[in-house]
Amino acid sequence: MGNGKYWLSKLRESVLSTLPITIVIIVFFLVARFGLPSDFFAPAYVLENNDMFSFLIAVVMIIAGMTMFNVGTEQSMSEIGVQIGGSLMKKKNFFFVIAMTFILGVLVTIAEPDLSVLSGQIGLEENVIVWTIGVGVGVFLVIGVLRILFHKNLNILFLAFYALAFTLIYLIDPRFLPICFDSGGVTTGPVTVPFLLGFGLGCAASHRGKNNGDSFGLTALCSIGPILAVIVIAMIMKWSGRELPPMSEYADPLSKLTGDMGANFAHAITSSLGSVALSVGPILLFFLIYNFCFLRLKWTVLLRVGLGMIVTYFGLVFFLSAVEAGFLPIASKLGQALGSKDGIFWVTLILGGLFGVFGVLAEPAVHVLVKQIEDVSDGSIKAGTVLATLALSIGAAVVLHLIRSYYHFSLAYYLIPGYILAFVLSFLVPPVYTAMAFDSGGVASGPMTSTFVLPFCIGFAFAQGRDVYLYGFGLVSMVAMMPLIVLQSLGLVSVIQSNIALHKARRHLVGEDDNQVVHFLPEGN
């Protein structure tokens, strides 16, 4: 399970992920308590001392949970993905490969903590949402494997499926639209991404060699599945006469802060112990059965995977308990406090933008991504430039979402032009930029987005009296869309710069009407 330095590095990543937002909340609490009149906010939205104690306890639990979780998934989920992905590509039975791939996609998705957080905020039966999204990921994981097998163009697949999604949204209740696209963003989280990257790498390496770009784009394809799956559920509900709960029945997240603080955390931990076991247990069981039948790995590998799953389990318990009992309610209360006060919308925009920027800068996977882009561009696009541009774009995504909530207009006004621009860019840049850009949408919408920034936005819409389904949800889809435009734009800049440099070099080497003699040396010299 790694040495002490390895654990310390993961602990450092977890602290950096939560510290910026924690500092902002502490500063806001101090300003609200000691720098503003006592009646500035309505009594229901004043941050009390117990609220801050709950929040700080939740921060410590989230840091511990994320540390354990990140260590555990690298030792278990990534390993399971590589081993099974490589093994499946060697099987002769086509239908067996399809069935196993689908089952894996479903099992990994239902274990995703970001999905649990989102489904708990929607107000519908959680199991229906989770399993629907799981089936969507399973289907599109199969499509991703078929793409690798038959070498299909990734751009065409993206264009076709997103065109289908944007066509079908006109057949559903508009209140479902933000949920549909948010579901695609949260499924590419800390459980799914390590598995899908490992699975794609195993499939591509086994099928066509290790140095192949086919593993890129698998995560992005799997994020389309939940969008279409939830659209189908929305269509069925509309045809059967069922609707989302009315605004008056929406569960206020502030109810989580009522009662005894210790009892709230105890209840959250108790419920998480069982739910997390039902989430990660099937994955481990599936892997053990598959290994017994096909892989026959060494006991040391099995021990490493088993220990990794145990660490992942307890990390998830800490993480989800902290989110339920402290992190999410405080975020909602902060959003409601700002949304209930007239004339301070600019403060909401500033805080929302800061949350978006900090969430990206503190996400470890983002730093890996920007280094990959620098390598792919041969240094023409610097990692620091990509990181700064990406962070500012995610901050802008949060600001744009809050503006949409304040002025209450449809999410489609953002998504349709945004995806049209992204697809136009996809035909102007090398395919690897498109694949990495679409994959990066899941990277940018990390744990901080679904556990803090989304409930902050929902709380703001709730206090404004807006329909939270229309104007609270939709943030994750905005965060997932912005990297598609930004990274491909940087890729286009890199292509233009390379073409200009090549053109100048050719003019320097070969003048107008220049006659050159080319000498061909004998082979071997």
Which are the contacts of 308, defined by CB distance < 8 A and separation ≥ 6? Answer: 1, 71, 72, 73, 74, 75, 76, 77, 79
149-159 pLDDT, tens per residue?
A: 887 888 889 89
Q: What is the average pLDDT across 281-303? A: 90
Q: What is the pLDDT of residue 230?
A: 93
* Exposure b/e, 160-169, CB count within 10 A at least 16 = b: ebbeebbebb
Asked if residue 212 has pLDDT above 50, the reply is no
Measure the CA–CA gap between 407 and 49, rounded to whole angstroms: 33
Taking every pair of Cα atoms in the chain, the longest distance, rounded to a whole number of angstroms, is: 89
* Tokens, residue 398: 């949060």
Measure the CA–CA gap between 454 and 122, rounded to whole angstroms: 12
Which are the contacts of 113, defined by CB distance < 8 A and separation ≥ 6? Answer: 69, 189, 190, 191, 316, 319, 320, 323, 447
Q: What is the pLDDT of residue 195?
A: 78
> For 127-136, 192-201, 254-263, 466-475, which range has the lowest pLDDT when averaged over its residues?
254-263
459-510 pLDDT, tens per residue?
A: 999 888 888 999 999 999 999 899 889 888 888 888 888 888 887 777 766 5
Q: What is the pLDDT of residue 273?
A: 92
Q: What is the pLDDT of residue 167?
A: 94
Helix residue ranges per DSSP H, 151-260: 154-168, 177-186, 192-208, 218-239
In contact, 301 and 290? CB cutoff 8 Å: no
Q: What is the pLDDT of residue 210?
A: 45
Asked if residue 515 has pLDDT above 80, the reply is no
* Tokens, residue 378: 């041969």
Reduced to 3 states, what is the DSSP secondary structure of residue 465?
coil
How many CB atoms are closer than 10 A to CB 323? 29
29, 113, 215, 505 from 265: Cα distances, Å: 22, 17, 40, 66
> For 204-208, 231-235, 338-342, which range has the lowest pLDDT when averaged over its residues?
204-208
Considering the chain, what is the average pLDDT of its residues? 83
In contact, 458 and 335? CB cutoff 8 Å: yes
Q: What is the average pLDDT across 443-453? A: 79
Among residues 223, 162, 226, 227, the alpha carbon closest in space to that of 193 is found at 223
Q: What is the average pLDDT across 72-93? A: 82
How many CB atoms are closer than 10 A to CB 46? 17
Which are the contacts of 510, defined by CB distance < 8 A and separation ≥ 6? Answer: 516
This prediction has a pTM of 0.84
Asked if residue 234 has pLDDT above 60, the reply is yes
> For 11-15, 67-71, 172-176, 243-247, which range has the lowest pLDDT when averaged over its residues?
243-247
117 or 287: which leads in pLDDT:
287
Cα dihedral across residues 171, 173, 179, 182: positive or negative: positive
Domain coordinates in residue numbering, the chain: 13-504
The separation between CA 109 and the C-alpha centre of its own chain, rounded to angstroms, equals 12
Measure the CA–CA gap between 191 and 78, rounded to whole angstroms: 9
Asked if residue 287 has pLDDT above 70, the reply is yes
How many CB atoms are closer than 10 A to CB 485? 18
Task: Provide DSSP, 331-353.
Answer: HHHHHHHHHTSTT-HHHHHHHHH
pLDDT band for position 249 (cuts 50, 70, 90)? low
* Tokens, residue 333: 């209360």
In contact, 383 and 370? CB cutoff 8 Å: yes
163-203 pLDDT, tens per residue?
A: 999 999 999 999 999 999 999 888 777 777 777 777 877 77
| Torsion angle, alpha carbons of 448, 452, 456, 458, to 10 | 90
Q: How many helices (H) and strands (E) does the chain have?
A: 22, 0
The separation between CA 16 and the C-alpha centre of its own chain, rounded to angstroms, equals 18
In contact, 215 and 237? CB cutoff 8 Å: no
Q: What is the pLDDT of residue 396?
A: 94
Measure the CA–CA gap between 260 and 325, rounded to whole angstroms: 11
Q: What is the pLDDT of residue 179?
A: 92
337-388 pLDDT, tens per residue?
A: 898 888 889 999 999 999 888 877 766 667 666 776 677 667 767 778 878 8
Q: What is the average pLDDT across 313-338? A: 88
Q: What is the average pLDDT across 224-231? A: 93
Asked if residue 400 has pLDDT above 70, the reply is yes
Measure the CA–CA gap between 525 and 510, rounded to whole angstroms: 26
